[in-house]
Amino acid sequence: MRDVLRHPTLDAAFKDQVLNLPSEGYLAEQLAPADPPRLHAARQGLLKQLASALRADWEWAFEHIR
């Protein structure tokens, strides 16, 4: 994800599509049976981990991609 975020020639709209996680609805469709509360917690946990691990990269992107 870091490489995509900081890639100098990729379009910002493309980066947006690539860096977005699948929705909870989509993930629930892929699981049988789905456990919505557990799925929500797992997805939120992953978002927090990515935000923390890539914080400097997100700040860089905010400053350079406008």
- Tell me what pLDDT residue 23 has: 95
Is residue 56 scored above 90 in pLDDT?
yes
Instruction: Report how far Cα 26 is from the mean position of its chain's Cα atoms.
Output: 14
> Model-level pTM?
0.79
Is residue 28 scored above 90 in pLDDT?
yes
* CA trace torsion 42, 51, 66, 63 (10° rounding): 180
CB 2 within 8 A of CB 54: yes
